[in-house]
Amino acid sequence: MPEFKFDNALVLSARPLGERTYKVSLLTDALGRHAGVVRGKKMPATAGLFSGRWQARLGEQTGHFYGEETAMPAAPFLEDAARLKCLLCLCGLLDAVLPERHPHPELYGAVMDWIAGLGTADFLMRYVRLELLILSAVGFGLDMSCCAGGGDACDLAYISPKTGRSVSRDKGRRYDDRLLALPAFLWRDAPATPRDIRDGLKLTAYFFIHKGGYKLPKIREQLLDKAALSL
């Protein structure tokens, strides 16, 4: 009977299947996104941490999770709309784009680090960078190492929507209506304005939607609100 144990898996989603039965999707360290059934009086909360084991009669079956919630990272931010929305958006995005049972230990570690720093002032800037890592994990990494047109690699300002390669300000200026804005904080150590955050979210969304064909969580649109970004 196949089985594996896990600690501090992130609950990406949970929905009722019947009385005291829930379909749950977790982000685990060893096996990436993993779905299973949980039975109990209480449905696991999205964005909670869950520890236990998964078991099934056959490896290809959905199987069951046995364990308990060990922490609730969202608890300190229940009155903080921006941070709470961002955390729930992350869970919804991971649930939507990650293939099931594909290990992503580096991404898991990055997600846990981002959650640990959710109380910092730059959480939105770090969130956009995390979305870049998620893009790379699903095969759509962007190349920001140099200018695709041979321009100044120290003044990158655009991303080609066709190739995912960066373009310098000088080389891309005449084509700026056909290129995507590349905020400086995504390719070098630089501060991020609310406009930079919006441009970064629009950039990653383009590749998730138009290259990956993914449907993004509705709550992600709220991260573009000025109220959520003017922190």
66 occurs within a structural domain? yes
Where is pLDDT greater, at 56 or 89?
Answer: 89
- Shared domain for 121 and 13, answered yes or no, is no
**Residue 149 included in any domain:** no
The confidence score (pLDDT) of residue 221 equals 86
Could you list the residue range(s) of the whole structural domain that residue 17 is in?
3-71
Which residue is it, tokens 């931010």?
77
Residue 19: what pLDDT? 86
Same domain, 67 and 83: no
Residues 128 and 199 in one domain: yes
User: Does 169 fall in a domain?
Assistant: no
pLDDT bucket at 41, cuts 50 / 70 / 90: confident
CA–CA separation, 215 and 231 (whole Å): 28
- pLDDT attached to residue 162: 96
Which residue among 12, 41, 71 closes a domain? 71
| Residue 26 buriedness (CB in 10 A; 0-12 / 13-18 / 19+) | buried
- Shared-domain flag, residues 53 and 92: no
Q: Is residue 168 part of a domain?
A: no
Number of domain units in the chain: 2
Residues 67 and 96 in one domain: no
Q: Which of these three, 34, 49, 71, is where a domain ends?
A: 71
Q: Is residue 153 part of a domain?
A: no
| pLDDT score of 230 more than 70 | no
Q: Is the pLDDT of residue 228 over 80?
A: no
Q: Are residues 117 and 207 in the same domain?
A: yes
48: Cβ–Cβ under 8 A, 6 or more apart, which residues?
10, 11, 69, 71, 72, 73, 74
42, 20 Cβ separation under 8 angstroms: no
Q: For 138-213, where are the alpha helices, taking DSSP H only? A: 169-172, 194-206
Residue 73's pLDDT is 94
Residue 60 is predicted with a pLDDT of 67
Residue 131 shares a structural domain with residue 31: no
What stretch of H or E contains 91?
helix 81-97
- Is 209 part of a structural domain of the chain? yes
Predicted local distance difference test score (pLDDT) of residue 1: 57
Instruction: Please report whether residue 216 resides in a domain.
Output: yes
Q: Which two tokens stand for residue 128?
A: 């956009």
199 within some domain: yes
- Residues 82, 43 share a domain: no
Residue 231 has pLDDT above 60, yes or no: no
What span, in angstroms and rounded, lies between the C-alpha atoms of 184 and 207? 18
Q: What is the CATH number of the domain that holds 64?
A: 2.40.50
**Would the pLDDT of 227 be above 50?**
no
Residues 122 and 221 in one domain: yes
Same domain (yes/no): 105, 53: no
Please report, rounded to a whole number, the percentage of residues in the chain having pLDDT higher than 70.
Answer: 96
Residue 129 shares a structural domain with residue 202: yes
Give residues with Cβ within 8 angstroms of 75, minimum separation 6: none
Domain boundary pick from 43, 71, 99: 71
d(C-alpha 162, C-alpha 105), whole Å: 29
pLDDT value at 114 more than 90: yes
What value does the mean pLDDT take over residues 61-72? 90
| pLDDT class of 229 with cuts at 50, 70, 90 | low
**Mean pLDDT confidence for 170-189:** 95
Mean pLDDT calculated for residue range 160-173: 96
- Say whether pLDDT at 59 is over 70: no
* Average pLDDT of the segment spanning 141-159: 96
Do 63 and 90 lie in one domain? The reply is: no
